[in-house]
Amino acid sequence: MPYAKVLPINTPKMLSGKLAYLTNATHRNHRDKTIEAAVCHRTSNAASFLAKTVATIRAINATHRRGRKVKNLADEVIIRLPDWSNPSAEERARFFKNTVKEFCPDSEAVGVWHIDKYNGSADLHLIVANYLDVYPPKVRRSSAFNPIALVRAASDQITEAVNLRRREQGVTPIVTMKEVRKARLKARGLKTLAEQLAPMLPFSAADLPEQIESLGYKVTRYNASRNSISVCLSEDKKAHRYFLDRLWQETVALGVNKAAKIVPPPVPKLPRPTPRPGASEVGFE
C-alpha cells in the first residue's frame, strides 16, 4: 500500500499555517516539488474552509454540557505514492475523489498534490475538518473507528483499482509497499507472516496470537479493540505491528488459494451392472 498517515491539527494557528504551507509553491521545502492547485470538497476555498472549521468547532464546544471538549480542529491525511508511480492528472483526480468518498464524505476537506519533479512520486495532503457538515454539526472523530486504518484501507483499494486500469492500458502498475516487503523477504529466502500461518488453518481469528507464538515468534502486544498486534520476528530487532483484520484476511486468502491448488484424487469409474435375463431395462440405458 502507499505510505499513509493521519496527523491532528489542534489550533487555528496550526490550521492556518498548514494551509498556507501546503499551497506555497515558493517554499524552500518545495523546490523539488510541483504544487498543484488546491482541490476543495464541500467548500469553496481554503479561506472559507478555515473560517467555517474554527467557528463550527468553537460552537460545538460551547454547546457541550458534559464530557471533554473537542481538541483537534482538523486532521491532515498524508498519502504518498511510491517512487516511479508517475500518476496522471486523471489518476490523481480519481485518487482524491475516492479517498474523500471512503474517509470523509460528509466533512469539508481541502486537498493539495505535491508531485516530485525527479523520482515520479506524488503526495496527497488532505486537510479534513473534524465535524460532519450536517445540522446541527457533529464531531467526526470518535473512538469507534481507527482513522489511520481507514485511510490505509481506502488507499489500498484505490491503488488496486488504478493498477487494474494501468494493466489494461499496458502502463507499469504502482508498486505497493506490501509488494516491496514481499520482494525483500523473498530475496532473503524468508516468508511473510501470513504465508507461515496459512498452512496452519483452520483456526479462528481470535487464535492468531497463539498460532503466531507456536511459530517461535514473540507477541509483544495484542489489542483486539484497536485491531493491532505486535510481533517480534527476530530477537535482535524491534517488533512489527500488524492490523489484525488485514493479517487474517491475507492468511485466509492464502489458505484458500492453497486449498484450490490441491487436486482431489479421481473417483474410480464403477462397471455398469448387467441386468438379469428378462428384467426391465429401466435405469440401465
Return the higher-pLDDT residue of 19 and 68.
19
pLDDT at 284: 46
Question: pLDDT exceeding 70 applies to what percent of the chain?
Answer: 79
Q: What is the pLDDT of residue 282?
A: 52
pTM: 0.64
Tens of pLDDT along 15-65?
Answer: 999 999 999 999 999 999 999 999 999 999 999 999 999 999 999 999 887
Question: Other C-beta atoms within 10 Å of 163: how many?
Answer: 17
Q: List pLDDT tens digits, range 88-142.
A: 898 899 889 988 988 888 999 999 999 999 888 899 999 999 999 988 899 886 6
Reply yes or no on whether the pLDDT at 273 is more than 80.
no
CB 128 within 8 A of CB 103: yes
Cis peptide before 12 (omega within 30 of 0): no
Bridge partners of 237, per DSSP, are: none
**191, pLDDT greater than 60:** yes
Q: Report the C-alpha gap between 151 and 156 in whole angstroms.
A: 9
pLDDT band at 190 (very low <50, low <70, confident <90, very high): low
Of residues 1 and 89, the one with the higher pLDDT is 89
User: How much is the mean pLDDT over the chain?
Assistant: 83
Residues 219-250 pLDDT 10s: 999 998 888 898 887 765 778 888 888 888 88
Domain boundaries, the chain: 3-177, 189-260
Number of Cβ within 10 Å of residue 179's Cβ equals: 13
Q: What does the buried/exposed string (b/e) look like for 110-137 if buried means 16 or more CB atoms within 10 Å of the residue's CB? A: bbbbbbbeeeebbbbbbbbbbbbbeeeb
Which pLDDT score, from 0 to 100, does residue 162 have?
77
Helix (H) or strand (E) holding 218: strand 218-223
| CATH code linked to domain 3-177 | 3.30.930.30
Q: What is the pLDDT of residue 141?
A: 65
* pLDDT over 60 at 202, yes or no: yes
3-state secondary structure of 170: coil
For residues 223 and 149, give the distance between their C-alpha atoms in angstroms, rounded to a whole number. Answer: 14
| 182 or 70, higher pLDDT | 70
**pLDDT beyond 90 at 265:** no
CA proximity to 84, closest of 46, 119, 42, 136: 119
Question: Are the C-beta atoms of 116 and 82 separated by less than 8 Å?
Answer: no
| Cell, residue 126 | 488532505
